[in-house]
C-alpha cells in the first residue's frame, strides 16, 4: 500500500497530515532568514597587524614575511596573498573547500602566536586573526552631511544620537561609521626648537605618559566621615597640553608650547568622505547571521522617518545603499509568477476536463507542498534568497506536472467505466513509482541549497 492508496482509504488521516505539513511549514517560515544570496562562509582567514609610523618596506620585512613563513606550514592552504602598506600588514590565507573553517582558524592562530616573538617588540597590539563572514557586509547605509558643521561634530552627533536609535533594530549586529573623524589632541613639534633645547620626540612622549594620567587615590576615613579622593591628572584642553612640562633645562622648565603646539583636531586626516564637495559621514547597518533582511529594512525606514523629524535643520540625511531592494523585487516577482501559474493551471485543466472540481485541485496540493518545504529549509539551515526563490518557481512546475499526470490517469479510468474511488486507487497505483522517479530526477537539476518540494497524493475528482 503506497501513500496515495493510504490517503484514499484513510481520508481523515490524509487531511490531518496535510494540516500538520502546513502548520510546520508556517512555523519554519517565521524563523527563516531573508537575504540576497545563501550565507556561505569560505575557508578564508585574514591576519591583520598594525605598526603605526612604519613604512611599507619595514612592514614587509619585519612583519609580513615572518608571518607568511609561519603560516605557510599549515596543511590545506590553497593560496596566500599579502599586502604591506604604511602602518599596517594584511595577509589573506585561502584554504581548500574541504577544510573546516574553525579548524583552519585555530591552526592560523597557533602559528601566528608562535611567530609573535619574532615581530617588533613595540607593536601596539598582537596580530588579529579573523574568519571570513558572509554576513559582515552592510545591507543599508545612510549619509549624514551638513553645510554648517564639520566632520568632527557630525561624527559626535552620529555616535550620540543616530547610532543609538539604529543599533536597537531587531536583527542588527552593529553600525559602521564611514568617514568618521574622532577628536584627538595633535602635537606639532618644531625640529629647530627641539634641537635648541636638546629634546627628542621620545622625551615628549615620556612626558605625556608621565603627566597625562589619572590614578586611583584611595579614600580618607574619619570617625563620622568617609571621603573618596580623586586626582584630576587627565589633560583635556589645548592650553593644558601646551603648559605640560617636558623637562627642566638649566633651571628652566621647558613646556610643549616652547618646542611646538598642541591643537585639537581629527585623529585621522588622511581620508575623507565627500558628496558634491561637501564632507559627510555614512552609517552602515550590518545584519546578524541568519537575520531577516526585509524586516530589518522595514524597521529601518520606519525609524528613519522619525529621525528626519528630529534632526536639526542644517543636517541632511540620504540613503546611499539598500541591498534589500533587490530581495523585495525578487519576492514580488515570485508572488506574481505564482499567481499567474495558479490561474493558468486552473484554466488549462478546466479546458481539458470541463469540471471545476478537478480544475481547483491544484490550488490544494501546490500550497501544501510549497508551505511544507519551508520547514525542511528551516531544518537544513537554508534562507529565503534569490536562489531558493528560483527553486520555488521550479518546484511549482514539478508539483503541477505530477498532479496533472495523476489526475489525467485517474480520469482515464473513470471514462472506462470505473467508479471514482476505484479509479483513484488504480490510477495512482499505476504511475506512483513513475511520478516519484520523475520528481527525484527533476530535483537533481536544482542546486543542493534549493528547497525540496514533496509529493501530495491526488484528490478524488
What's the pLDDT at 24?
92
Given a cut of 70, is residue 135 above it in pLDDT? Answer: no
pLDDT at 133: 65
What is the rounded end-to-end Cα distance, in angstroms, of the chain? 21
CA dist., res. 186 & res. 409, Å (int) = 85
- Between 324-353 and 386-415, two packed helices, what is the crossing angle to 10 degrees? 10
- Higher pLDDT: 166 or 334? It is 166
Summarised one tens digit per residue, pLDDT across range 24-45 is 999 988 888 887 777 776 788 8
3-state secondary structure 105-138: HHHHHHHHHHHHHHCCCCCCCCCEEEECCCCCCC
Contact 184, 265 (CB under 8 A): yes
List every span in the chain annotated with CATH 3.30.2090.10. Answer: 184-266
For residue 323, give the nearest of 78, 138, 103 by alpha carbon.
138
Cell numbers of 158, please? 552620529
The more confidently predicted of residues 135 and 111 is: 111
439 pLDDT above the threshold of 80: no
Q: Is 140-182+269-322 assigned to CATH 3.30.70.1320?
A: yes
The ranges of the chain annotated as CATH 1.20.1640.10 are: 3-36+327-443
Predicted pLDDT of residue 1: 64
Q: Please, are residues 439 and 397 in contact by the beta-carbon 8 Å criterion?
A: no
Span 51-75, pLDDT tens digits: 887 888 888 989 999 899 888 888 8
Look at residue 458 and tell me whether its pLDDT is greater than 60.
no
In terms of CATH architecture, what is 184-266?
A: 2-Layer Sandwich (3.30)
Predicted confidence at residue 340, as pLDDT, reads: 84
Q: Does the pLDDT at position 289 exceed 80?
A: no
Residue range 300-359, pLDDT digits in tens: 999 999 888 888 888 888 888 888 888 888 888 888 887 887 888 888 888 877 778 777
Q: Where in the chain do CATH 3.30.70.1320 domains reside?
A: 140-182+269-322
> Residue for cell digits 544570496?
37
Residues near 258 by beta carbon (within 8 Å), at least 6 away in sequence: 193, 197
Residues 77-98: what's their mean pLDDT? Answer: 88
- Exposure letters 21-54 (e unless 16+ CB within 10 A, then b): bbebbeebeeebbbbbebbeeebbbebebbbeeb
Mean pLDDT of the residues in the chain: 82
Give, for 242, the enclosing helix (H) or strand (E).
Answer: helix 238-242
pLDDT tens column, 213-224: 877 778 888 888
- The H or E element containing residue 395 is helix 386-415
Average pLDDT over residues 373-395: 84
pLDDT value of position 20: 92
Where do you find CATH 3.30.70.1430 in the chain?
44-131
CATH topology assigned to domain 44-131: Alpha-Beta Plaits (3.30.70)
Cβ contacts of 148 within 8 Å, gap of 6 or more:
314
**H or E, element range at 437:** helix 420-443
How many beta carbons lie within 10 A of that of residue 397, not counting itself?
A: 13
Superfamily in which the 3-36+327-443 domain is placed by CATH: Multidrug efflux transporter AcrB transmembrane domain (1.20.1640.10)
Phi-psi region of 250 (alpha: psi -120 to 50; beta: other; left: phi over 0): left
**What pTM did the predictor assign?**
0.70
Query: Within 13 A of 268's CA, how many CA atoms are on the CB side?
Result: 12
Cβ atoms of 238 and 185 closer than 8 Å: yes
* pLDDT at residue number 442: 61
Amino acid at each position: 500500500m503506497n501513500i496515495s492508496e493510504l490517503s484514499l482509504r484513510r481520508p481523515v488521516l490524509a487531511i490531518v497530515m496535510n494540516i500538520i505539513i502546513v502548520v510546520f511549514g508556517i512555523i519554519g517560515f517565521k524563523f527563516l532568514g531573508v537575504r540576497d544570496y545563501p550565507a556561505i562562509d569560505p575557508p578564508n582567514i585574514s591576519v591583520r597587524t598594525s605598526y603605526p609610523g612604519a613604512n611599507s618596506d619595514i612592514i614587509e620585512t619585519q612583519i609580513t614575511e615572518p608571518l607568511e613563513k609561519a603560516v605557510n606550514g599549515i596543511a590545506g592552504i590553497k593560496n596566500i596573498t599579502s599586502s604591506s602598506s604604511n602602518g599596517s600588514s594584511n595577509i589573506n590565507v585561502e584554504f581548500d573547500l574541504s577544510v573546516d573553517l574553525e579548524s583552519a582558524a585555530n591552526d592560523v592562530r597557533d602559528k601566528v602566536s608562535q611567530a609573535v616573538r619574532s615581530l617588533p617588540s613595540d607593536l601596539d597590539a598582537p596580530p588579529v586573526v579573523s574568519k571570513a563572514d558572509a554576513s559582515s557586509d552592510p545591507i543599508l547605509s545612510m549619509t549624514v552631511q551638513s553645510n554648517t558643521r564639520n566632520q568632527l561634530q557630525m561624527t559626535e552627533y552620529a555616535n550620540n544620537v543616530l547610532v543609538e536609535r539604529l543599533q536597537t533594530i531587531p536583527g542588527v549586529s552593529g553600525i559602521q561609521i564611514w568617514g568618521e573623524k574622532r577628536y584627538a589632541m595633535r602635537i606639532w613639534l618644531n625640529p629647530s626648537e627641539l634641537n635648541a633645547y636638546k629634546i627628542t620626540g621620545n622625551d615628549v612622549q615620556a612626558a605625556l605618559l608621565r603627566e597625562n594620567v589619572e590614578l586611583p587615590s584611595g579614600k580618607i576615613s574619619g570617625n563620622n566621615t568617609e571621603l573618596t579622593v580623586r586626582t584630576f591628572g587627565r589633560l583635556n584642553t589645548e592650553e593644558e597640553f601646551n603648559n605640560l612640562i617636558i623637562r627642566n633645562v638649566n633651571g628652566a622648565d621647558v613646556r610643549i608650547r616652547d618646542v611646538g603646539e598642541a591643537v585639537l583636531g581629527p585623529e585621522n586626516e588622511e581620508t575623507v568622505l565627500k558628496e558634491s564637495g561637501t564632507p559627510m559621514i555614512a552609517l552602515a547597518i550590518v545584519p546578524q547571521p541568519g537575520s531577516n533582511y526585509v524586516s530589518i529594512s522595514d524597521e529601518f525606514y520606519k525609524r528613519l522617518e522619525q529621525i528626519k523629524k528630529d534632526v536639526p535643520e542644517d543636517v541632511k540625511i540620504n540613503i546611499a545603499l539598500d541591498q534589500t531592494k533587490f530581495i523585495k523585487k525578487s519576492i514580488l516577482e515570485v508572488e506574481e509568477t505564482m499567481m499567474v501559474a495558479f490561474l493558468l493551471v486552473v484554466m488549462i485543466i478546466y479546458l481539458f476536463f470541463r469540471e471545476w472540481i478537478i480544475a481547483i485541485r491544484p490550488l490544494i496540493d501546490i500550497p501544501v507542498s510549497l508551505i511544507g518545504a519551508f520547514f525542511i529549509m528551516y531544518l537544513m539551515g537554508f534562507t529565503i534568497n534569490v536562489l531558493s526563490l528560483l527553486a520555488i518557481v521550479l518546484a511549482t512546475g514539478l508539483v503541477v506536472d505530477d498532479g496533472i499526470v495523476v489526475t489525467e490517469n485517474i480520469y482515464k479510468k473513470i471514462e472506462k467505466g470505473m467508479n471514482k474511488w476505484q479509479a483513484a486507487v488504480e490510477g495512482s497505483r499505476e504511475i506512483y513509482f513513475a511520478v516519484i522517479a520523475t520528481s527525484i530526477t527533476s530535483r537533481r537539476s536544482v542546486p543542493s541549497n534549493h528547497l525540496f518540494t514533496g509529493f501530495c497524493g491526488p484528490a478524488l475528482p
